């Protein structure tokens, strides 16, 4: 019979670093915060977050038979290599190696297979999984499953790995013993404001409230239009994503270098992108070849080149190129 102990052992066997279990009940506080976030327009142009609001608040709208949620985590941390070379832009840590959606997807498929095998032949159970893209408030459910706590910068912070964690989840009809976050989830931000003060665009407007319209990660990856000068200048040499609020977090002093070779920089685009190379790309086919197997396909060629032009302009203004 499948139980929580077996689930966690199997999750470890397929390569996940973290596994916690919770119930699919609506998290009232998280629902209220999400609604305020939407009402304030902090989602920017991500209209799908409005369209999927009801599903995000109630996991049973994703899978009606859900009785348990298995939350999973992968450590992806690798340190920065040094100063940014002139003419290059820095890529966020999460996107330097292979696309985590694919890496975690392989592991979670293996896990679902093993979970199915571990159930009684007479029982038929549902397993419905996502890697980040599901209509679920995954950080909130990860917090309740004991994987960590959500910091002021909105990131899930784990006591072993800091905030350098990819999340994935399995909704299942199997009833499992949930973890007690009061027991396994330790940590707090207290009076620390380092992430708030370090954000160059002032995107962290309140505890767990990020104005995406100012966030450099959103600007460089999700924003579909030109970036205003007042936000472009603070981007400095960040060509894809941003790690500033995580880099300054004291909890990330405990970060451990990932053991997952797929996330090594040599497996993807690496830490730095040559902006001139990006600007030389002429076709969609060339772009897809350049970004193959990585998360850098997300913004599309036009927006990645927009970012590259901003980085070069910022560096020229600093006399670096």
CA–CA gap between residue 117 and residue 76 (Å, rounded): 29
For 195, counting Cβ atoms within 10 Å of its Cβ (0-12 exposed, 13-18 middle, 19+ buried), the class is: buried
Catalytic residue among 132, 179, 226, 236: 132
Spatial distance between the Cα atoms of 308 and 294, rounded to a whole number of angstroms: 17
- For residue 211, indicate whether it is catalytic: no
Alpha-carbon distance values, 288 to 147, 212, 321 (Å): 35, 26, 28
List strands edge to edge, sheet with 68-75: 18-22, 68-75, 165-172, 127-130
The first and second tokens of residue 4, run together, are 């929580």
Handedness of CA 55, 18, 245, 94 (dihedral sign): negative
Residue 216 forms beta bridges with which residues?
none
Q: Round to whole Å and give the CA distance between 18 and 66.
A: 21
C-beta of residue 246 within 8 angstroms of C-beta of residue 153 = yes
**Backbone φ, ψ for residue 69 (5° rounding):** -120, 125
Which phi and psi (to 5°) does residue 170 adopt?
A: -125, 120
Instruction: Report helix, strand and coil shares of the chain as percent, to nearest 5.
Output: 40, 15, 45
Residues classed as catalytic? 132
């Amino acid at each position: 019979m499948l139980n929580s102990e077996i689930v966690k052992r199997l999750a470890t066997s397929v390569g996940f670093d973290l596994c916690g279990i919770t119930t699919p009940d609506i998290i009232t506080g998280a629902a209220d915060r999400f609604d305020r976030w939407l009402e304030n327009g902090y989602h920017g142009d991500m209209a799908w977050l409005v369209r999927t609001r009801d599903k995000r608040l109630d996991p049973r709208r994703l899978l009606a038979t859900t009785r348990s949620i298995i939350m999973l985590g992968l450590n992806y941390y690798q340190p920065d290599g040094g100063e940014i070379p002139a003419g290059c832009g820095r890529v966020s840590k999460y996107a330097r190696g292979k696309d985590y959606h694919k890496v975690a997807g392989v592991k979670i498929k293996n896990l679902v297979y093993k979970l199915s095998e571990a159930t009684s032949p007479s029982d038929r159970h549902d397993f419905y999984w996502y890697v980040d893209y599901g209509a679920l408030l995954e950080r909130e459910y990860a917090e309740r499953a004991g994987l960590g706590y959500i910091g002021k910068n909105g990131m899930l912070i784990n006591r072993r790995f800091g905030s350098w964690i990819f999340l994935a989840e399995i909704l299942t009809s199997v009833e499992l013993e949930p973890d007690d976050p009061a027991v396994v989830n330790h940590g707090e931000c207290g009076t620390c404001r380092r992430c708030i003060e370090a954000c160059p665009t002032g995107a962290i407007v309140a505890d767990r409230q990020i104005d995406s319209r100012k966030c450099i990660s959103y600007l460089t990856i999700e924003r579909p239009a030109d970036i205003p000068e007042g936000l472009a200048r603070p981007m400095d040499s960040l060509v894809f994503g941003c790690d500033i609020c995580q880099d300054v977090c004291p909890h990330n002093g405990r970060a451990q270098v990932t053991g997952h070779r797929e996330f090594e920089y040599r497996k993807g685009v690496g830490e730095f992108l040559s902006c001139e190379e990006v600007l030389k790309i002429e076709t969609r086919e060339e772009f897809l070849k350049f970004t193959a197997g990585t998360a850098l396909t997300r913004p599309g060629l036009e927006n990645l080149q927009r970012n590259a032009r901003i980085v070069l302009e910022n560096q020229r203004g600093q006399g670096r190129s």
